[in-house]
């Protein structure tokens, strides 16, 4: 199978999305818009990212930036870009529910960068009901050499697939599942400014960037206007609980489990606080740890120090 790209005003976009779980669109952004977006993002990386919390960005083992999230919150131009009628209208015509902007994430895909493993967005971004779409727009021509993206047509009908979870790594679809659905895979290459709309159940991944140029792309997340989502407190608590679990080397860790009651000590607490500082940009003294000895209490303190209660508006 090959990806068939439709014009933005093609009346068959919704039908293709319902049939395959993904629809490919050409000419979403023109070359001038692509160039301007890249210019704004380059400035954002230099002037904005250093000033906001570390948990809003991810780097690979070589320290290269591979992803930064919630960009629309911090840059007015990018906020206006994702809310322009041509983009929202494109998605509105594809579904029978009312989509609203959820987030804008950027994936720089640096030269020499690693793959993004197979996953489903709804596994880590729970929305109820599951009305979640991504509008993916590359800002560099996509080729097999610089990291083509792969979609498994029809997997939106299968629900959530089993995922493998490993410390410090995003959950990935069980490789045995991918072996069984290999005949459903479509490799996608396209010019900059073209892209795809796909649902939250769609299994997808992208290859490594073996070229000598970055291959950036942005992903606009959209959800149904009347959906419910995890609050910021729930998201941060989940992240903090993961740190507690990994540093104590316990198989599970509840949000209200007591750190010291679970066998933790000051040495491990120091590692927990160091990771919280790196991930969330806040400093909590070891002497204060006993006051926030559960993931729920620690997350509340993190949010208090960040002053980010308003982020729940997302």
Q: What is the CATH number of the domain that holds 264?
A: 1.10.1200.10
Same domain, 133 and 247: no
Please state, in angstroms and rounded to a whole number, the distance separating the CA atoms of residues 215 and 144: 11
Does residue 58 sit in the same domain as residue 166?
yes
Output DSSP code: residue 252. Answer: -
Cross-strand bridge partners of residue 16? none
Give the separation between CA 133 and CA 120, rounded to whole angstroms: 11
Q: Does 34 share its domain with 168?
A: yes
Domain limit, last residue, from 228, 249, 268? 228
Beta strands in 232-284 (DSSP E): none
Does 145 lie in the same domain as 133? yes
Q: Where in 174-225 does DSSP place strands (E)?
A: 185-188, 195-199, 204-206, 217-224
Residues 21 and 162 both lie in one domain: yes
Per-residue pLDDT at 13? 97
Strands 195-199 and 132-138, bridge-based pairing: antiparallel
Tell me the residue range of the domain where 238 lies: 232-313
Q: Are 162 and 299 contained in the same domain?
A: no
Asked if 42 and 124 sit in the same domain, the reply is yes
Q: Residues 209, 133: one domain? A: yes
pLDDT at residue 312 in the model: 37
Task: Write down the pLDDT at residue 229.
Answer: 77
Residues 82 and 166 in one domain: yes
CB distance 198 to 134 below 8 Å: yes
For residues 21 and 36, membership in a common domain is answered with yes
- Domain limit, last residue, from 160, 195, 228: 228
Last residue of a domain, one of 207, 228, 249: 228
Q: What is the pLDDT of residue 167?
A: 63
Query: Tokens 């308003």 correspond to what residue?
Result: 310
**What is the C-alpha separation between 133 and 136, in angstroms, rounded?**
10
Give me the CATH number covering residue 52: 2.60.120.620
Give residues with Cβ within 8 angstroms of 287, minimum separation 6: none
Based on the fold, state whether residues 203 and 249 are members of the same structural domain.
no
Ranges of residues in the chain with a pLDDT under 70 are: 167-168, 307-314
pLDDT for the residue 309: 36
> b/e per residue, 61-89, with b = 16+ CB within 10 A?
eeeebbbbbbbbbbbeebeebbeeeebbe
pLDDT at 235: 75
pLDDT at 308: 46
Residues 240, 224, single domain; the answer is no
Closest by alpha carbon to 71, among 52, 99, 90, 89? 52
Number of domains in the chain: 2
């Amino acid at each position: 199978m090959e990806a068939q790209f439709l014009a933005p005003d093609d009346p068959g976009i919704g039908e293709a999305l319902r049939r395959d779980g993904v629809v490919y669109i050409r000419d979403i952004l023109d070359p001038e818009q692509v160039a301007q977006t890249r210019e704004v993002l380059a400035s954002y990386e230099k002037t904005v990212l250093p000033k906001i919390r570390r948990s809003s960005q991810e780097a690979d083992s070589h320290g290269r930036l591979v992803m930064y999230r919630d960009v629309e919150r911090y840059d007015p131009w990018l906020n206006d870009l994702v809310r322009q009628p041509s983009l929202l209208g494109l998605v509105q015509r594809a579904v029978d529910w009312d989509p609203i902007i959820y987030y804008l994430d950027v994936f720089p895909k640096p030269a020499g960068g690693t793959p993004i493993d197979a996953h489903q967005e709804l596994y880590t971004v729970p929305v109820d009901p599951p009305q979640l779409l991504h509008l993916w727009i590359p800002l560099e021509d996509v080729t097999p050499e610089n990291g083509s993206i792969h979609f498994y047509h029809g997997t939106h009908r299968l629900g959530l697939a089993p995922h493998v979870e490993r410390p410090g790594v995003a959950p990935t679809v069980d490789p045995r599942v991918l072996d069984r659905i290999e005949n459903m895979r479509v490799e996608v290459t396209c010019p900059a400014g073209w892209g795809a709309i796909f649902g939250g159940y769609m299994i997808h991944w992208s290859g490594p960037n073996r070229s000598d140029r970055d291959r950036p792309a942005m992903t606009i997340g959209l959800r149904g206007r009347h959906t419910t989502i995890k609050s910021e407190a729930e998201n941060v608590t989940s992240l903090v609980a993961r740190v507690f679990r990994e540093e104590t080397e316990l198989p599970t860790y509840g949000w209200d489990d007591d750190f010291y009651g679970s066998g933790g000590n000051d040495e491990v607490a120091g590692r927990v606080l160091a990771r919280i500082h790196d991930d969330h940009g806040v400093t909590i003294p070891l002497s204060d740890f006993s006051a926030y000895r559960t993931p729920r209490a620690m997350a509340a303190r993190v949010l208090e120090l960040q002053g980010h209660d308003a982020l729940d508006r997302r």
